[in-house]
Structure 1
Amino acid sequence: MTQTVLLALDTSTEFCSVALLRVTVDAAAQSGAEPRCWVRHEQTGAVSSTRLLPAIRELFDEAGLSLADCDAIAFGAGPGSFTGLRTATGVAQGLAFGLNLPVVPVSTLLACAESARLRDPSATRVLAALDARMDEIYWADYAWDDAQCEWRTVQTASLDVPERLVLPDVPFTLAGNAAAAFGARLPAVAAARTVDGAALPHALPLAHAALRAFRAGRTVPADQAAPEYVRDKVAQTTVERLAQKAEKAARAEQAARTEEAARHTAPAQNTHGGAPDTAPHGEGRQ
């Protein structure tokens, strides 16, 4: 009997997400049991860095294992929060350096696709789309290959406005939170076979995807682990923020003027054919 132990980390969102997988394989029978899983998934906001290492220690204690039992470390490489991606990358690198372990970078969009398939085995074509803020989305297109038991990337991770999302030409599942964030602006919402808004970056589906990658040898040395930002800037410039604020103010002002004009030009309601009746309700006219 042999075992594989894999640790997976994701801090690409406001959640600190950690999963530990242990798979036992009977070498003689060439078969393995279902992975044992231990998970911490907590909404920590901007302080994931302070929670990540304690969560890792808790999982190893709970599983009765130690870091020395680990065979590989996986992390959510992005896209996602710039600070969060750096946190997961740094911790994965640090642990892997100390233990001389390989690292498995996994796209957070692929983790969304994996989550959708774990929840619904018929989700074999998945368009993963996440709110990227600044009125944009991160998205990628994946197709499940039954023969290879692996995802095939149809479209790599991209950054676009919601309206420019390219739809698959076959029935598909829309995974991620972009549907909730943009609604009808996202063409995939109406076109999707199903929308799975709960299929989000999470260490457990990330660990399942990473286990297959580890077994296939798709790993990197610790010093080569790097985030996949996709977006090349953290936030809007001051000029962009001011321009966006001015545009919103102009739209609001125009809407107010339109409403005011409609109020002044609307015909008075008068069922008596004379001047409008302004008497209080319930009072007669003299």
Structure 2
Amino acid sequence: MPILLALDASSSACSAALLRRREGLDDELISRFALTPREHTRRLLPMADEVLAEVGLAASALDAVAYGRGPGSFTGLRIAAGVAQGLAFGLDRPLIGVSTLEALALGGHRRHHYRRLITALDARMGEIYVAAWQCRDGRLEALMEEAVMPPERLRLPEGLGDADWVGIGSGWNLREQMGVEVQAGLGLCLPDVEAEAADMALLAMEALARGEARPAHEVQPVYLRNQVAWQKSR
């Protein structure tokens, strides 16, 4: 059964997770997580070694490598991408990039059973990275494409009635700049939650099953701002 290693350094947190599918048994998920600002380069590989050692596996046993592709800290994304690509190249294994915003949503659903979430990260420069999700039975449906925008431009997805939304991620530290509708529709706000490699491993395993893994050289971080900065409102 497939074995996958996921790495993340997209925020002030650093994490690694090993996911092993086992026939007839529950998945085995081993992870490490720490808030280590400015220490990602030093901590990420040792975390990967720790999760492999805990289950007695060598890196050569991996079927794929995954990493948090962003959006997030430019420096952190490059660190995780570099480490993950290095491992994938060295092992001749495919690589999978996982959305940081999607991992935040899955984490909120897995741990607390939240059904409708808006994940947002502080993008600096007076903007947020944001996406919205509906969650059922461990599955995520995107209700808003990932975007970067000033917090005052955020709008709730339409057509869901008076749904209570849960806001997760550092972007919600800017909630006072958001519109009245957004603030009124927010049932709970968790700005201190960080994305975790454990959730990325689960998302990556599903992507692997769908045949979405790619050669290491084809996978790039997703910064969002590079794609949309020229479209900012004037």
Q: Distance in 2 between matches of 1:175 and 1:43?
A: 17
Which amino acid in 1 is paired with 2:188? T
The count of aligned residue pairs is 221
- Residue number in structure 2 paired with 1:70: 62
Q: Distance in 1 between matches of 2:169 and 2:35?
A: 17
Which amino acid in 2 is paired with 1:177? S
| Matching residue within 154, 166, 189 for 1:173 | 166
What CA deviation, in whole Å up to 9, does each residue of 1:202-241 have, x standing for no partner? Answer: 11111111111111212211111100001139xxxxxxxx
TM-score, normalising length: structure 1: 0.72
Q: Secondary structure at the match of 2:200?
A: helix
Q: Secondary structure at the match of 2:41?
A: helix
Q: Secondary structure at the match of 1:163?
A: helix
Would you say the 8 A contact 2:68–2:100 is kept in 1?
yes
- Residue number in structure 1 paired with 2:230: none
TM-score, normalising length: structure 2: 0.87
Would you say the 8 A contact 2:167–2:190 is kept in 1?
yes
CA positional deviation for 1:83: 0.9
- Residues 1:12 and 2:10 are matched in the alignment: yes
CA positional deviation for 1:20: 0.9
CA positional deviation for 1:198: 4.8
What CA deviation, in whole Å up to 9, does each residue of 1:11-54 have, x standing for no partner? Answer: 0111211111122013xxxxxx3222221112221220121111
Which amino acid in 2 is paired with 1:43? L
- Residue number in structure 1 paired with 2:231: none
1:234-249 aligned within 5 A: none
Q: Which of structures 1 and 2 has the larger relative contact order (alpha carbons within 8 angstroms, sep 6+)? A: 2
CA positional deviation for 1:124: 2.8
| Matching residue within 23, 31, 41 for 1:49 | 41
1:245-284 aligned within 5 A: none
1:138-149 aligned within 5 A: 138-144=129-135
Q: Distance in 2 between matches of 1:174 and 1:168?
A: 13
Q: Distance in 1 between matches of 2:18 and 2:183?
A: 34
| Matching residue within 190, 207, 210 for 1:213 | 207
Q: CA RMSD in A?
A: 1.9
Gaps of 5+ in 2: 228-234
Q: Distance in 2 between matches of 1:168 and 1:175?
A: 16
Q: Secondary structure at the match of 2:220?
A: coil
- Residue number in structure 1 paired with 2:22: 24
CA positional deviation for 1:78: 0.4
CA positional deviation for 1:145: 5.9
1:59-208 aligned within 5 A: 59-121=51-113, 123-144=114-135, 150-169=139-158, 170=160, 171=163, 172-179=165-172, 181-187=173-179, 188-208=182-202
Q: Distance in 2 between matches of 1:120 and 1:43?
A: 21
Q: Secondary structure at the match of 1:218?
A: coil
Q: Secondary structure at the match of 2:135?
A: strand
Would you say the 8 A contact 2:151–2:175 is kept in 1?
no
Which amino acid in 2 is paired with 1:20? L
Q: Distance in 1 between matches of 2:101 and 2:191?
A: 13
Would you say the 8 A contact 2:143–2:157 is kept in 1?
no
Q: Distance in 2 between matches of 1:53 and 1:178?
A: 28
Q: Secondary structure at the match of 2:156?
A: coil
Gaps of 5+ in 1: 27-32, 234-286
Q: Secondary structure at the match of 1:193?
A: strand
Which amino acid in 2 is paired with 1:44? T
Would you say the 8 A contact 1:189–1:195 is kept in 2?
no
- Return the structure number with greater strand share: 2
